[in-house]
Chains A and B, each alone.
Chain A
Amino acid sequence: MLLIHCPYCQEDRPELEFRHAGEAHIARPENMAEMSDEDFERFFFIRSNPKGIVYERWRHIHGCARFFNAARDTVSDKFLMTYKAGEPKPDLDGEGK
Chain B
Amino acid sequence: MADTIARANALEGRFLNDEGITLVRAEPSTRLSLRAPKTAVKSLSKALGLDLPQRPKASTAKDGRVALWLGPDEWLVIDETEADLVGVCASVTAFHSAVEVSHRNTAVLVSGPRCETVLNAGCPQDLSLVAFPVGACSRTVFGKAEIVLWRTGSDAFRVECWRSFSDYVFMLLEQAARDR
Contacts and interface: CB of A to CB of B under 8 A. Distances in A.
Interface of A: 1, 8-11, 13-14, 16-17, 62-66
Given A11-B57, A17-B141, A64 B72 contact: yes
Nearest to B145: A62
Given A9-B57, A11-B57, A14-B124, A65 B141 contact: no
Interface residues of B, number: 13
Contacts, number: 38
B71 A66 contact: yes
Nearest to B131: A11
A16 B120 CA distance: 13
Contacts of B56: 8-11, 64
A66 B140 contact: no
Contact of B141 (A8, A10, A16, A64): A16
Given A14-B125, A62-B141, 16 more contacts: A8-B71, A9-B57, A13-B125, A14-B124, A16-B141, A17-B124, A17-B140, A17-B141, A62-B140, A63-B71, A63-B139, A64-B70, A64-B71, A64-B139, A65-B74, A65-B139
27 contacts: A8-B56, A9-B56, A9-B57, A9-B138, A10-B56, A11-B56, A11-B57, A14-B124, A16-B124, A16-B141, A17-B140, A62-B139, A62-B140, A62-B141, A63-B71, A63-B138, A63-B139, A63-B140, A64-B56, A64-B70, A64-B72, A64-B74, A65-B70, A65-B71, A65-B139, A66-B71, A66-B72
A47 B57 CA distance: 36
Contacts of B139: 62-65
* Chain A binding surface, main DSSP class: loop
* Chain B binding surface, main DSSP class: strand
A10 B71 CA distance: 11
Interface in B59-88: 70-72, 74
Contacts of B70: 64-65
A3 B174 CA distance: 28
Contacts of A66: 71-72
B146 interface: yes
Contacts of B124: 1, 14, 16-17
